[in-house]
Chain A
Amino acid sequence: MMDDRSPMTDDVVLSVQDLHVSYGVISALRGISFEVRRGEIVTLIGANGAGKSTTLRAISRLVPIQQGSIIFEGVDLRAVPPHEVTAMGISHVPEGRGIFANLTVQENLKLATWGKKDQREIQQAYERVFSLFPRLAERRHQLAGTLSGGEQQMLAVARALMRGGRLMLLDEPSMGLAPVLVREIFDVLREINAAGTTILLVEQNARQALKLAHRGYVLETGTIALAGTSQELMDNPRVKEAYLGG
Chain B
Amino acid sequence: MQTLIQQVLNALQLGSVYALIALGYTMVYGIIRLINFAHGDIFMVSTYVAFFIGTALMSHALRLPGIVAFGLTMAAAMMVTALLAVLIERFAYKPLRQAPRVSAVITALGVGLFLENFTLATIGPDPRFLPRFFSVQTFTVGGVAFSNIQIIIIAVSAAVMLLLDTIVRRTMVGMAMRAVSWDKSTAPLMGVPVDSIISITFAIGASIAAVGGTLFGMVYTVDPYMGIRIGWWAFISAVVGGIGNIRGAMVGGYILGFVEIFTPVILPASTYRDFVAFSMLLLLLIFRPYGILGRPVAQKV
Residues in B neighbouring A159, C-beta threshold 8 A? 190
Complex: chain A residue closest to B192, CB-CB: A114
* Complex interface bits, A61-77 against B, C-beta within 8 A gives 1, otherwise 0: 11000000000000000
Decide if B183 is an interface residue (CB 8 Å cutoff).
yes
Q: Is B175 a contact of A103 with CB atoms below 8 Å? A: yes
Residue picked from B175, B181, B185, B188, most chain A C-beta under 10 Å? B188
Q: How far is the CA of A61 from the CA of B194 in the complex (A)?
A: 13
Residues in A neighbouring B176, C-beta threshold 8 A? 111, 114
Q: How far is the CA of A87 from the CA of B189 in the complex (A)?
A: 9
Given A107-B175, A110-B175, residue A83 in contact with residue B186 (CB < 8 A):
no
Decide if A46 is an interface residue (CB 8 Å cutoff).
no
Question: Which of A27-35, A93-101, A181-189, A215-223 lies at the interface?
Answer: A93-101
Q: How far is the CB of B171 from chain A (nearest CB, A)?
A: 10
Restricting to B164-209, which residues have a CB under 8 Å from any CB of A? Answer: 172, 175-176, 178-179, 181-183, 185-194
Residues in B neighbouring A19, C-beta threshold 8 A? none
Given A107-B175, A110-B172, residue A82 in contact with residue B188 (CB < 8 A):
yes
Q: How far is the CA of A86 from the CA of B188 in the complex (A)?
A: 8
Complex: chain B residue closest to A109, CB-CB: B190
Q: How far is the CB of B206 from chain A (nearest CB, A)?
A: 24
Cross-chain contact of B172 among A84, A91, A94, A111 (Cβ < 8 A): A111
Cross-chain contact of A94 among B175, B185, B192, B194 (Cβ < 8 A): B185
Q: Is B192 a contact of A111 with CB atoms below 8 Å? A: yes
Q: Is B191 a contact of A163 with CB atoms below 8 Å? A: yes
Residues in A neighbouring B191, C-beta threshold 8 A? 83-84, 86-87, 112, 114-115, 163
Q: Is A62 a contact of B182 with CB atoms below 8 Å? A: no
Cross-chain contact of B189 among A81, A98, A102 (Cβ < 8 A): A98
How many residues of B sit at the interface, in one of the four size bands? 10 to 19
Q: How far is the CA of A228 from the CA of B161 in the complex (A)?
A: 60
Q: Is B190 a contact of A62 with CB atoms below 8 Å? A: no
Complex: chain B residue closest to A107, CB-CB: B175
Q: How far is the CA of A159 from the CA of B179 in the complex (A)?
A: 13
Given A102-B178, A102-B181, A111-B179, residue A92 in contact with residue B172 (CB < 8 A):
no
Residues in B neighbouring A229, C-beta threshold 8 A? none
* Complex interface bits, B32-50 against A, C-beta within 8 A gives 1, otherwise 0: 0000000000000000000
Q: How far is the CB of A82 from chain B (nearest CB, A)?
A: 4
Q: How far is the CB of B148 from chain A (nearest CB, A)?
A: 40
Residues in B neighbouring A230, C-beta threshold 8 A? none
Decide if A60 is an interface residue (CB 8 Å cutoff).
yes
Q: How far is the CA of A103 from the CA of B190 in the complex (A)?
A: 14
Residues in B neighbouring A60, C-beta threshold 8 A? 188-189
Residues in B neighbouring A94, C-beta threshold 8 A? 185-186, 189
Q: Is A92 a contact of B189 with CB atoms below 8 Å? A: yes
Complex: chain B residue closest to A85, CB-CB: B188
Given A102-B181, A103-B175, A103-B182, residue A114 in contact with residue B190 (CB < 8 A):
yes
Complex: chain B residue closest to A60, CB-CB: B189
Given A83-B194, A102-B182, residue A111 in contact with residue B189 (CB < 8 A):
no
Residues in B neighbouring A86, C-beta threshold 8 A? 188-191
Given A110-B175, A111-B175, residue A101 in contact with residue B190 (CB < 8 A):
no
Residues in B neighbouring A83, C-beta threshold 8 A? 187-188, 191-194
Residues in B neighbouring A103, C-beta threshold 8 A? 175, 178-179, 182
Complex: chain B residue closest to A110, CB-CB: B175
Restricting to B188-241, which residues have a CB under 8 Å from any CB of A? Answer: 188-194
Q: How far is the CB of B118 from chain A (nearest CB, A)?
A: 34
Residues in B neighbouring A114, C-beta threshold 8 A? 172, 176, 190-192
Q: Is A112 a contact of B182 with CB atoms below 8 Å? A: no
Q: How far is the CA of A81 from the CA of B191 in the complex (A)?
A: 10
Q: How far is the CA of A110 from the CA of B171 in the complex (A)?
A: 10
Residues in B neighbouring A87, C-beta threshold 8 A? 191
Q: Is A163 a contact of B182 with CB atoms below 8 Å? A: no
Q: How far is the CA of A99 from the CA of B186 in the complex (A)?
A: 8
Q: Is B182 a contact of A101 with CB atoms below 8 Å? A: yes
Q: How far is the CB of B111 from chain A (nearest CB, A)?
A: 27
Residues in A neighbouring B187, C-beta threshold 8 A? 83
* Complex interface bits, A113-138 against B, C-beta within 8 A gives 1, otherwise 0: 01100000000000000000000000
Q: How far is the CB of B185 from chain A (nearest CB, A)?
A: 6
Cross-chain contact of B188 among A62, A91, A100, A102 (Cβ < 8 A): A62
Complex: chain A residue closest to B169, CB-CB: A107
Residues of B near any A CB (own CB < 8 A)? 172, 175-176, 178-179, 181-183, 185-194
Return 8 A-B CB contacts under 8 Å, by A number. Answer: A62-B189, A83-B187, A83-B192, A86-B190, A100-B178, A111-B172, A112-B190, A114-B176
Name 7 extra pairs, CB < 8 A, besides A60-B189, A111-B176, A114-B192: A100-B179, A103-B175, A107-B175, A112-B191, A114-B172, A115-B191, A163-B191
